[in-house]
Amino acid sequence: MNFLKTFVFMLLLLVPAAGCAGMSLQEKGIPKIEGLIAVRGQTVHTMARQTDGSWAEPITNGVVLVRDGKVVAVGPASSVEIPANAHVIEAAVVTPGLIDAHSVVGLSGWLNYDHDQDQLERSAPMQPELDALDAYNAREPLIEWVRSFGVTILHTGHAPGQLISGQTFIVKTRGDNVDAAVLKPKMMVACTLGSAALRKEGQSPGTRAKQMAMLRQEFIRARAYEEKIAAAQADPEKDPPARDLAKEVLLRVLSGETPLMISAHTSVDIQNALRLQKELGIQVVLEGGSECYDFIDALLEQKIQVIIHPTMMRASGAGKNSSMETAGKLVAAGVPVAMGSGYESYVPKTRVVLWEAAIACAYGCPFSDALGLITASAAQLLGISDRVGSLEVGKDGDMALYDGDPFEYTTHCIGTVIDGDVVSDLVR
């Protein structure tokens, strides 16, 4: 436990303002570490890829040097000199900061009352103009909760539950307000197929066939809108159509600029997602995907990436045939896959991706691939791998620190670092 004592001692030196024991570290309480920090790990999982695409071996007795928020050196202690002026933090195991590839944290608050639930607008089935950025509560306690287990990045937004529920975005789990947290303001357009997005009697969509018909029609309308704009540009006599924010978003999906993230679980709904991708030629990311183990060839053929459901998702309803082995199967088949915490309507109000990846690992997904689901592979899928996901020179100084195998039930996360700042010093 020596490293732990050292770590705590270092924190005491470094974090005089964070004296509110047990309380969350408010952003204003997070000390800005000027200059260099050096994180020493008995094992450092850099999650870098070698030239042949395989995972780089973890570094034994490794050092990660971070200056002004960016990684400036990574390697074994024998080759990376720690400057005398660096603040040193020690841990048994160091990983890149964890990425939750699909969350609702920040929109779906922990109290589960109307005033903290902003993850789903129910006034209409298709509202792509909704922007998660406008709904994100940077001071939501669940952000601090997942951060204390090493989560530094959330791809968050509107929950499954409407045919098109809005646009997602990416934040770091820091910042007192959304502007301080945001990493990528627009990420995907969230779509739900299947029972979760069926509406009450008399309201559409009331069936799966209606869901597909409505989506097709809406994308056709978006095309027509685009053609009207083009026609007006070509002919000064013609008036352009009134601006339509929803259609503008759908056009970004049609152009391939923005992926359509389709939440689908059952075999029928996954087939519908695959069909829609073929019909529209758009970029589709399958989210959830309980029964996607039956469609691996199609996923590969149609280049569909998967944000797989949390491993411990309840085996009921649309997810009744979910398998704890799916992540491992997708990885083995070469399907690009990341893991998200998904959406929970009751308890736990959010899942912790660290634990979900741990169970995936215990159920057949090799360790590095399982860690990849919530680090490098997730960054790749979300298109943010130039910034985060692995510990390599030039990338953000985002790290999670553990006192043992991160996946073990009895291991603790002892610290979380974002942009070189210690944002959590809780031992959990």
Which residues sit at the interface with another protein, rule CB under 8 A? 109-113, 141-142, 145-146, 291, 293-294, 312, 314-316, 320-325, 344, 346-352, 355, 358-359, 361-363, 407-412
User: Strands, E, within 115-195: which ranges?
Assistant: 151-156, 164-167, 169-172, 182-184, 189-192
Cα separations in angstroms, 270 against 81, 204, 346: 51, 20, 25
Tell me how far apart the alpha carbons of residues 29 and 10 are, in angstroms, rounded to a whole number: 16
Indicate the pairing of strand 260-264 with strand 189-192: parallel
Q: Which residue, 106 or 205, has its beta carbon nearer to another protein?
A: 106
What are 273's two structure tokens? 């997602």
Q: Which residue, 181 or 361, has its beta carbon nearer to another protein?
A: 361
The least CB distance from residue 351 to another protein, in Å, is 6
The least CB distance from residue 116 to another protein, in Å, is 9
The least CB distance from residue 143 to another protein, in Å, is 11
Q: In what order do the strands lie in the sheet with 305-308?
A: 164-167, 189-192, 260-264, 284-288, 305-308, 337-339
Sign of CA dihedral 300, 336, 339, 327: positive
The least CB distance from residue 347 to another protein, in Å, is 3
Rg over alpha carbons for the chain, rounded to the nearest Å, is 22
Q: Which residue, 22 or 202, has its beta carbon nearer to another protein?
A: 22
Q: Which residue, 1 or 113, has its beta carbon nearer to another protein?
A: 113
The least CB distance from residue 113 to another protein, in Å, is 7
Q: Which residue, 141 or 185, has its beta carbon nearer to another protein?
A: 141
Q: Which residue, 138 or 222, has its beta carbon nearer to another protein?
A: 138
Report phi then psi at 235, rounded to 5.
-130, 105
The least CB distance from residue 360 to another protein, in Å, is 10
Q: Which residue, 24 or 377, has its beta carbon nearer to another protein?
A: 24
The least CB distance from residue 315 to another protein, in Å, is 6
Contacts from 119-123 at CB under 8 Å and sequence distance 24+? 119/157, 119/158, 119/159, 119/161, 119/343, 120/158, 120/159, 120/161, 120/162, 120/165, 121/158, 121/162, 121/165, 121/166, 122/161, 122/162
Angle CA 151–299–357, to nearest 5: 25
Crossing angle of the two packed helices 245-254 and 208-234, in degrees rounded to 10: 100
The least CB distance from residue 259 to another protein, in Å, is 27
The least CB distance from residue 324 to another protein, in Å, is 5
Chain CA centroid to CA 225, Å: 32
What single-letter amino acid sits at 210? K
Neighbours of 235 (CB within 10 A): 9
The least CB distance from residue 403 to another protein, in Å, is 10
Q: Which residue, 50 or 316, has its beta carbon nearer to another protein?
A: 316
State in Å, rounded, how far the first CA of the chain is from the last one: 15
Q: Which residue, 19 or 22, has its beta carbon nearer to another protein?
A: 22
What are 303's two structure tokens? 């280049």
Q: Which residue, 66 or 107, has its beta carbon nearer to another protein?
A: 107
The least CB distance from residue 171 to another protein, in Å, is 18
Tell me how far apart the alpha carbons of residues 125 and 214 are, in angstroms, rounded to a whole number: 9
Q: Which residue, 289 or 420, has its beta carbon nearer to another protein?
A: 289
Report phi then psi at 7, rounded to 5.
-65, -45
